[in-house]
Structure 1
Amino acid sequence: HATMATTKVPEVRDITRIERIGAHSHIRGLGLDDALEPRQVSQGMVGQLASRRAAGVILEMIKDGHIAGRAVLIAGQPGTGKTAIAMGIAQSLGPDTPFTALAGSEIFSLEMSKTEALSQAFRKAIGVRIKEETEIIEGEVVEIQIDRPATGTGAKVGKLTLKTTEMETIYDLGNKMIDSLSKEKVQAGHGKDHQAGPLFHQNTVCAVSRGRTAEEKRGGPHSPYTGLPGSLLRRHRRDQV
């Protein structure tokens, strides 16, 4: 007699919001000039001049990073423009700064606890900017040597010889690199541009080197010619993902 154990996977509900035309969808900013002086009617804001100026000071502090990790409490009677000022601050910060609007009725639910609702809102309001340092290897392909096991089950190994105007280097190839070179049909005489980073590996066949003769050219009669790269085979580049 065999019994089957069943594993119950907990269901995680997500807060879904629907963007619609609302009472504050017309607000584009706080309506301030360069001196942080509020205009009477500007960017969808009307009135509350002193509060808008104070919000402008807070906005500049946010941009300079002086109140990171702190909270701003806007208090007042109903209908005095608290949500409008908060929306104006969010619009002035721009699309790179995440802003999450949360109504009080979204916290109290029978399907989700208050802690989970607040945790999801905080996670949505956290912005992460990822920068990646990429190593670029470029040069003319002199020779590609790929050794495949006779049984067909082992790992493939290979060597790639690249050269520039002043140097020549041999690189060991792994399985992924060999498959990528085979897919792009890289052969001797092709210009090679390999970008390696922690997030991706990209290979590009740039062109056919001018140093190859017409019989040795593999790219066909319409392939563009290019000169050999400079003395450095490797160079580094920083990208923002």
Structure 2
Amino acid sequence: MNIIESSREKERISLHSHISGLGLDADGYVTDFLFEENIKKRDMYSEPTNKIENNDIKNGTILDPDKVDNICNSYKLENNGNYENNKICYNNISDDEDEVVKNFYKCKGMVGQKKAREAAGIFINLIKEKNICKCLLLAGPSGSGKTAIAIAISKEISDESIPFCIFNASQVYSCEVKKTEILTQYIRKSIGVKIKEIKEVFEGEVVQIEPFFDNTYDEQKISYVHITLKTLKEQKKIKIHSSIYDNLLKEKIQEKDIIYIESHSGNVKRVGKCSLYQDMFDIETDTFVDLPKGNVHKKKNIIQNITLYDLDVSNVQPKDNILDFLQNNKSKKTEITDKLRNEINKIVYKYVDQGIAQIIPGVLFIDEVHMLDIECFTYLNRTLESNLAPVVILATNRGICNIKGTNIISAHGIPVDLLDRIIIVKTMLYNKEEILQVLKLRCKFERIKIDSEALDYLSDIGKIKKK
């Protein structure tokens, strides 16, 4: 039997796609309180030298960062001097916007779970300070926002697009692949590699695409294609092979698009549409970029974001270059040998020393972790000691129970030696007001019109179901 793949997690991720962070202020407190209550709460723990006047607290205003620094002498999240994420007040919200939109900007899409979010903020601070802790356990009943907090943590850890991998512990089941192999695959899916290369490319705006056909056996077959690219400096017509024309069709390249073609591999990348044509439509969903400068044929810095698992899969059948994984990244359910992984790790470390690559540890979210057995916990405990280990977030709705496959009783069904390594955060059930706020937020993003009576009725149903 192959590894069981479930679409449930993908659906949950899409439902939480509006979340952009934990919604904490510069002091690590949740910002969906009334703002005046936040000020009173800080005054209980510190004595600021310059207190904020009442006329400074207004909707639609951002407080002076110097005043923000004087407020907190206790715990503070460091953001390297960038106050974009440290703003206490709302993000320039006008008075005519409704309460749902205001709350969304304040709390970054999060609702409720104030203590859990503040605890997650402390966990993020430990990660940024490169302390030992790399594992977090979210313990709470079903539907209490554990997945939402995990996604928010992944957004707060880094500004870059770090890998975020989610799977259910019940998926660790196969008759062909070892359980530890499945865990290894998900762990390596959560470790990103940012590769910077200098490649020779042909870049510019597509002016014309002209295919030429050959009559072979009374059938028309494309032999070659002329494509005209334009930059601010020049316009050049190049001759490409028919196989590269297939890549143009796959990328849905049209005239007025900005593209580049790698001269070595023939890969085609669409960057966007030329900004000169931005005013052609009143509403446009495409990305507009400026017309490239310089020559059409140039050397360009190419940045690729991949994972270690992508390199593993692409090199099961090795090629000339380890970076040519894009040509053979079909998913396989067979085991990948440790020898191959060690070779890939050596090459990645070599690229890191040369400044070509950068390792970006991501986030691995394991839901229903109590479904793992003692062997999986032992392997996971050892993996957390590695320098390449991602941030592991566990979630469970169990209290005191047996560890799967044993008669050992432990908290949350997790062995004691692993519990000693992790931070445990408890999540609580939503009350009626928070359920109502979630419903309003989802209706806003789904563009559903609903009256207040229906919302109140649905919130009552949600409160009963939670019980």
Normalising by structure 1, report the TM-score: 0.44
More helix by share: 2
Q: Which has the larger radius of gyration?
A: 1
TM-score calculated relative to the size of structure 2: 0.26
